[in-house]
Amino acid sequence: MERSWKNQIWRFPVAGMKQNILITGFMGAGKSSVARALAELTGLFAVDTDDLIESLLHCSIKSYFVSHGENAFRRLEQRLANWLASSVDHTIVATGGGFFQVQGLMELGQVCFLNADFDTICRHLHVCAGDQQTVMRPLFQNLEAAKKRFDERLPLYRQNAHHIITVGTQDSMDLARQIQDILRQNGLLAQ
Ligand SMILES: Nc1ncnc2c1ncn2[C@@H]1O[C@H](COP(=O)(O)OP(=O)(O)O)[C@@H](O)[C@H]1O
Ligand SMILES: O=C(O)C1=C[C@@H](OP(=O)(O)O)[C@@H](O)[C@H](O)C1
Ligand SMILES: [Mg+2]
């Protein structure tokens, strides 16, 4: 049966708080995959901040980092956050790994941090295998630099989240179910 966002509406809406579900976490934690699984579970649409930003560019995010640098990318992320604030509600938002730093993040909706340790991230990204997912991630070109960035960001991801989901060996659908349960238990998603 087809479900609409109206069936998923928050039981206890909070004034001034958007009813999106944002998925944050480090590169490779599984944000984009979980957002799609959660969309399948709930019937809510999912968007991905990286895809939305790429829709503005005539190139990949990786090429944009090379031509314009990280700061320019962060400005695009803030512009996108402002657009989400003005124009998007009742939507699942997979964020890029650095999006958690935008101003106004916590007012965009319920922020769910996918807390994967660095080994799990490397496993997801096939760091030891041939078909590395790291190739298309400009900030995961060097393992040591990525680990340093991970260590620096970890406390900030925690601070800038409403819910923390520990990622172990579960698949994306299991993680999506966990998020659905947490939001339901908090009266933030319909039963
Ligand atoms: N729970 C998971 N278990 C195993 N592999 C996963 C899991 N989540 C994601 N992956 C794999 O990890 C890679 C990165 O996933 P992705 O969803 O793009 O992460 P992110 O958006 O956080 O960077 C993909 O190859 C994906 O198939
Ligand atoms: O962590 C980051 O700063 C980034 C993460 C990437 O998204 P994923 O986390 O989906 O790989 C993408 O937004 C960009 O390469 C920068
Ligand atoms: Mg992603």
Q: What is the DSSP string of 112-166?
A: EEEEE-HHHHHHHTTTTSSS-GGGG-GGGSSHHHHHHHHHHHHHHHHHT-SEEEE
Give the model confidence (pLDDT) of 6-61 as tens digits.
555 555 566 677 899 999 999 999 999 999 999 999 999 999 999 999 999 989 99
| Cα-only R_g, the chain | 16
Give the model confidence (pLDDT) of 78-98 as tens digits.
999 999 999 999 999 999 999
pLDDT score at 182: 96
How far is it, in rounded angstroms, from Cα 117 to Cα 154? 9
**Percent share of the chain, pLDDT over 90:** 81
Query: What ipTM does this complex have?
Result: 0.99
Q: What is the mean pLDDT of residues 98-119?
A: 97
Query: Which amino acid, 152?
Result: E
pTM: 0.94
DSSP structural state of residue 177:
H
DSSP structural state of residue 101:
G
* Whether pLDDT at 2 is above 50: no
Instruction: For residue 118, give the nearest of 103, 106, 128 by alpha carbon.
Output: 128
pLDDT score at 20: 96
Q: Is the CB of 108 under 6 A from ligand 1?
A: no
- From the CA of 71, which ligand is nearest? 2
| 120 touches 172 (CB < 8 A) | no
Average pLDDT over the chain reads: 92
pLDDT score at 137: 94
- CATH code (residue 133): 3.40.50.300
- From the CA of 121, which ligand is nearest? 1
Q: What is the mean pLDDT of residues 148-174?
A: 98
Residue 38's domain comprises: 18-185
Classify residue 98: in a domain, yes or no: yes
Classify residue 100: in a domain, yes or no: yes
Confidence bin at 1 (pLDDT 50/70/90): very low
How far is it, in rounded angstroms, from Cα 21 to Cα 82? 16
Nearest CA to ligand 2 atom 11: 27
Residues contacting residue 171 through CB under 8 Å, at least 6 positions apart: none
Classify residue 118: in a domain, yes or no: yes
Q: Is the CB of 153 under 6 A from ligand 2?
A: no
Nearest CA to ligand 2 atom 1: 97
If one counts every other C-beta atom within 10 angstroms of the C-beta of residue 94, the result is 26
171 known member of a binding site: no
If one counts every other C-beta atom within 10 angstroms of the C-beta of residue 189, the result is 23
Q: Is the CB of 32 under 6 A from ligand 1?
A: yes
Classify residue 107: in a domain, yes or no: yes
Domain count, the chain: 1
pLDDT score at 17: 79
